[in-house]
Amino acid sequence: MDFTFSDEQKLLADSVERFIQDDYDFDSRRAVLKSEEGFSRKTWATFAELGWLAIPFSEEDGGLGGGAVETMIVQEAFGKGLVVEPYLSTVVLGGGFIRHGGTAAQKQALIPQIIEGKALLAFAQTEPTSRYALNDVSTKAEKSGSGWKLSGHKAVVLHAPSADKLIVTARTGGARTDEAGITLFLVDAKAAGVTRRDYPTVDGFRASEVTLDGVQVGAEDVIGEVDNGLPLIEQVVDEGIAAVVAEAVGAMKVLNDTTVEYLKTRVQFGQPIGKFQVLQHRAVDMFMNYEQSKSMSYMANLKLGEEAKARKKAISAAKVQIGKSGRFVGQQAVQLHGGMGMTDELNVGHYFKRLTMIDTQFGNIDHHLKRFGSL
């Protein structure tokens, strides 16, 4: 595989890295987290102005025609800054469903709004009993005239508090865990019958418990095929996994650099603690885990365009590596910083929280080991 970036990709990486370094410092992020929405609309507008919201969309739809590698570049930089804006929910997941399964009318209505930063989306899939199984759907969609009526409960819907539209999985046929009979619907977040309970997550993001009580949607709100939505869901969720894997790589990079710098400057027994061989070995192990994760991230993103089985194996392998390495790097960074590593004022603990949440997002180590084995 060729891991060399093109000139355009290098320019993209430089621009996002420069923004994170100059305009997205840790103290500013802490202030944003305390705001009502938990992210900055001003920063989101900047993303739109810089063209980052247009990256994965085709030129025919008004986008920049980028692919998985460009999304990986953005997400890795976002991981370095612990970016809390809803890029994953809106552009990667929401935009992915519209790109791969949307009708011409849906694309025309939504993609320009996403690119301009005027529309936020959230993917409502997880349910209280589903854990990581994408085919475990209890939410019901019943025919109602020419449209549908949705009823059910969705849990931990990331960025739902600020979303304009929800992309909801619902069962239009079959039993609760059947692979057939699942359909995707585009639902107005303020539609009658939609209620939310909002809360912050451990890593500072915002999520909601969403209840759907007889929510009316039209036939034009169906995304993809009726009763055959699972393949589309699996494809877009795999793209989401590749994106959070890249984000985790960025977070591990910061933890490695921060820890090495601390080992060079923290003096004990009359010398920097980085002089002690046992700590050098731990720093090397952290670096090796980071490098392994970075390689797996590249491989996973390059495999996204292949047939389903190869894609799923690559994504699950990368997710397992990220889960193991993220835990190791986070734990070592906290321990090597001593008591300071446990404080809220130091960024190390915040990166570790995000890596911990990424491990569970879209399936943990055990889930993806089982998925990989089944393939």
Supply the DSSP string of 31-66, one letter for each residue: HHHTSSSSS-HHHHHHHHHTTGGGTTS-GGGTS---
The CATH homologous superfamily to which domain 7-118 belongs is Acyl-CoA dehydrogenase/oxidase, N-terminal domain (1.10.540.10)
Considering the four listed CATH numbers 2.40.110.10, 3.40.50.300, 3.40.50.1220, 1.10.10.10, the one that applies to the domain covering 122-226 is 2.40.110.10
Sequential pLDDT tens for the chain (375 residues): 567 899 999 999 999 999 999 999 998 899 999 999 999 999 999 999 999 999 999 999 999 999 999 999 999 999 999 999 999 999 999 999 999 999 999 999 999 999 999 999 999 999 999 999 999 999 999 999 999 999 999 999 999 999 999 999 999 999 999 999 999 999 999 999 999 999 999 999 999 999 999 999 999 999 999 999 999 999 999 999 999 999 999 999 999 999 999 999 988 888 888 788 999 999 999 999 999 999 999 999 999 999 999 999 999 999 999 999 999 999 999 999 988 888 888 999 999 999 999 999 999 999 999 999 998
Domain with CATH 2.40.110.10 in the chain: 122-226
CA distance 84 to 193: 28
How many C-beta atoms surround the C-beta of residue 178 within 10 A?
Answer: 15
Helix (H) / strand (E) containing 156: strand 147-158
- In degrees, rounded to 5, the angle at the alpha carbon of residue 283 between the alpha carbons of residues 282 and 287 is 115
Phi (first) and psi of residue 290, to 5 degrees: -60, -45
Distance separating the N- and C-terminal Cα atoms of the chain: 22
Torsion angle, alpha carbons of 167, 73, 54, 97, to 10: -20
Per CATH, the number for 231-374 is 1.20.140.10
Decide: helix, strand or coil at residue 126. Answer: coil
